[in-house]
């Protein structure tokens, strides 16, 4: 397979999109599918919408480009920081998509952003910021608090 | 590949979007990779998915130092293999006694950094057996419950060495000392400073060296004669435990025993010195020391 070969991806809304093989191989799950069935048929990604797919491809593209000589680590870091300047909705969609297509670098980047948002917040603030419910009974919560007490002594 | 992907499928500009509540446990584990163990333990109370991820071996494996198996073997655990990585981490955060109780090692809770403390008992102190000079005093402020107290001596020399498999990184070494004696009367601490002398005459020489050739030597006065009318020596170390910073060394290769030698000497025989308590030497990751100083 030549490095210039094209791979066709098909997203959940039935849209086809071509990328170079190098870009497609950035995602572990797509890489596995290519190894199994080759590149002659489209790779189906039923769980990724067109909007998210194009964002993920954008990420894969500049990471492939950054492997060329002359691109510094700082430049990649700076592009990564720009890439994740997105709203919460997009951020979590990217996490789910990165997990689905198995792009560890993108998953790591997006998880870091969420970790930074969580740091320094109380549990109540996290519940409010992320609209996430506490699904424990008071007894269960007390038990967890007790189990983890060692970390706060 | 994750239980909640139907949300991604539905989500578009019009529909509901996924949030923190919708990401699978392995993604939460990915977030935990960037958070401290203390944050992870706090977040275990957030919801069930976070509780699950907070117990994953995968998360805690990254927090444990490379030498954790060796540390674990120092504890007499009946079924070490049945412990989760989180339980191992929690256990190793408590001080582990080594070498017949003369040394302690523990993990810093927030960072997993390996910290060592070497007691005065483990050190070679010139004249320690001569009661005219040195005494062992019980001390509840020492993790070893005793300190070596010097009344007076001309040749002050303390040498020590420690061999340990430290994870790669930079470490700071400090001597923990106090000027003055403390006794208890009716539950109160009584400080006595009469025997403190000689520390403002000449500086004390501190050194550390490693088996791979790193070396630091520094000198400092434990006291400086003040410019106050009474001409009484001024120092923070009177009555207060002080960690005197000697220097830093770097561990480059992880799976190797690092040997560190350290000493504290003042052997100018034209003057005697005394009234000092020697507790221990500490070796902690330099990052921790810098953070502690910032916080202080």
Q: Which helix (H) or strand (E) holds B96?
A: strand B96-98
Q: What is the pLDDT of residues B129-172, one digit of tens each?
A: 999 999 999 999 999 999 999 999 999 999 999 999 999 999 99
Mutant choice from B1, B4, B45, B60 vs A, greatest count of A C-beta within 10 A:
B45
Using a CB-CB cut-off of 8 Å, the residues of chain B touching A119 are 35, 39
Q: Kindly report whether the global pTM for this prediction surpasses the value 0.90.
A: no
Q: What is the pLDDT of residues A25-56, one digit of tens each?
A: 889 988 888 888 888 888 888 888 888 888 99
SS3 (DSSP) at B245: strand
Interface confidence, given as ipTM, is 0.89
Q: What is the mean pLDDT of chain B?
A: 89
Supply the pLDDT for residue B131.
Answer: 95
Q: What is the pLDDT of residues A112-134, one digit of tens each?
A: 999 999 999 999 999 999 999 99
Find the mean pLDDT for residues B255-262. 92
Question: What's the 3-state SS for A19-59?
Answer: EEHHHHCCCHHHHHHHHHHCCCCCEECCCCCHHHHHHHHHH
SS3 (DSSP) at B110: coil
Q: Does A47 sit within 8 Å of B19, measured CB to CB? A: no
Whether residue B30 has pLDDT greater than 70:
yes
State the number of CA atoms in the 13 A half-sphere of B127 facing the CB.
Answer: 17
Residue contacts between A and B (CB atoms, under 8 Å): 129
Q: Does A111 sit within 8 Å of B27, measured CB to CB? A: yes
């Amino acid at each position: 397979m030549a490095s210039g070969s094209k791979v066709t991806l098909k997203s959940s809304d039935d849209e086809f999109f071509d990328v170079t093989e190098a870009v497609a191989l950035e995602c572990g799950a797509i890489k596995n599918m290519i190894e199994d069935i080759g590149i002659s048929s489209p790779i189906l990604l039923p769980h990724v919408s067109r909007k998210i797919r194009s964002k993920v491809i954008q990420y894969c593209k500049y990471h492939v480009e950054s492997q060329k000589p002359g691109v510094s680590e700082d430049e990649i870091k700076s592009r990564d920081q720009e890439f994740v300047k997105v709203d919460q909705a997009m951020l979590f969609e990217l996490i789910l998509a990165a997990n689905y297509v198995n792009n560890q670098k993108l998953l790591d980047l997006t998880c870091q952003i969420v970790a930074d948002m969580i740091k320094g917040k109380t549990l109540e603030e996290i519940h409010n910021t992320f609209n996430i419910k506490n699904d424990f009974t008071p007894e269960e919560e007390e038990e967890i608090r007790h189990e983890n007490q060692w970390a706060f002594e | 590949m994750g239980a909640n992907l139907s949300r991604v499928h539905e989500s578009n500009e019009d529909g509901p979007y996924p949030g923190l509540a919708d990401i699978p446990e392995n993604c939460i584990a990915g977030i935990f990779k960037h958070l401290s163990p203390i944050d992870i333990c706090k977040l275990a109370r957030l919801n069930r998915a976070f509780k699950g991820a907070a117990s994953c071996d995968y998360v805690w494996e990254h927090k444990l130092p490379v030498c954790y198996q060796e540390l674990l073997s120092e504890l007499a655990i009946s079924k070490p293999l049945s412990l989760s990585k989180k339980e191992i981490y929690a256990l190793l955060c408590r001080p582990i006694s080594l070498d017949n109780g003369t040394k302690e090692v523990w993990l810093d809770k927030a960072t997993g950094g390996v910290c060592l403390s070497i007691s005065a008992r483990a050190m070679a102190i010139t004249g320690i057996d001569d009661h005219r000079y040195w005494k062992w005093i019980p001390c509840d402020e020492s993790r070893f419950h005793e300190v070596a107290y010097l009344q007076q001596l001309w040749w002050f020399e303390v040498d020590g060495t420690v061999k340990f498999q430290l994870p790669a990184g930079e470490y700071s070494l400090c001597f923990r000392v106090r000027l003055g004696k403390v006794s208890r009367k009716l539950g109160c601490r009584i400080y006595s400073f009469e025997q403190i002398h000689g520390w403002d005459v000449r500086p004390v020489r501190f050194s550390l060296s490693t088996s791979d050739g790193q070396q630091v030597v520094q000198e400092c006065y434990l006291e400086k004669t003040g410019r106050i009318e009474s001409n009484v020596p001024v120092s923070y170390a009177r009555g207060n435990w002080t960690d005197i910073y000697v220097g830093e060394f770097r561990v480059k290769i992880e799976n190797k025993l690092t040997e560190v030698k350290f000493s504290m000497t003042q052997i100018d025989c034209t003057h005697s010195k005394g009234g000092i308590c020697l507790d221990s030497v500490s070796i902690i990751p330099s990052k921790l020391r810098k953070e502690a100083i910032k916080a202080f």
